[in-house]
Amino acid sequence: MGSAFRNFFREKEMKILVAEDDLDNARLLESILKKNAHTVEVVGDGKEALKRLRGERFDALLTDWMMPEMDGVTLIQRVWAEVETAPFILMVTAVGDDDSRQKMLQTGADDFLIKPYQSEDVVRDLSDGFARITQPEPEVSVIKPVRVNGLPPF
């Protein structure tokens, strides 16, 4: 995505839910997102995140994979099954092998971010991912058959 969209992303306030059981990681994500003018709510596990997502609309969910009560994979599956309007979902995890990456995407994560990360990585992945899922459907032109010399079109 171009810098114009990233600037739009930074200027457009989004409501983002962070599900992270590690307090330091949660504070880091919250700080990065708030510096980019977003409203951020933080919960410590997947069970609480699902409760919040059922009751409020969020533009994005950043979830850790390994959390108490309900892990990120289960959370994502339940979001898709139980939440009317699923947000953009970014899995944030230290697990980065190919099989795990495949599992995250198959589960329904829109994208993933491997720890450790830089603040620019968070902003880039959210902006690029959010652009992908909010892109309008392309307009489709309909060509109507035309009679030539009184003959049917086909």
Contact between 83 and 49 under an 8 Å Cβ cutoff? The reply is: no
| CA–CA–CA angle 35, 16, 20 (5° rounding) | 95
Contact between 87 and 58 under an 8 Å Cβ cutoff? The reply is: yes
63-114 pLDDT per residue, tens: 999 998 899 999 999 999 999 999 999 999 887 777 877 777 788 898 888 8
Domains and CATH numbers, the chain: 3-134 (3.40.50.2300)
d(CA 117, CA 108): 21
Q: Quote the tokens at residue 46.
A: 């997947």
Q: Quote the tokens at residue 85.
A: 């309007």
The one-character DSSP state at 86 is: -
Grouping H, G, I as helix, E, B as strand and the rest as coil, residue 89 is strand
pLDDT for res 44: 95
Instruction: Give the β-pairing of 60-64 and 15-19.
Output: parallel
Q: Quote the tokens at residue 72.
A: 């990120």
120-129 pLDDT per residue, tens: 989 888 888 7
Residue for token pair 């983002």:
16
What are the beta bridge partners of residue 18?
42, 62
0.85 surpassed by pTM: no
The one-character DSSP state at 150 is: T
Residue 39 has pLDDT above 90, yes or no: yes
Contact between 76 and 63 under an 8 Å Cβ cutoff? The reply is: yes
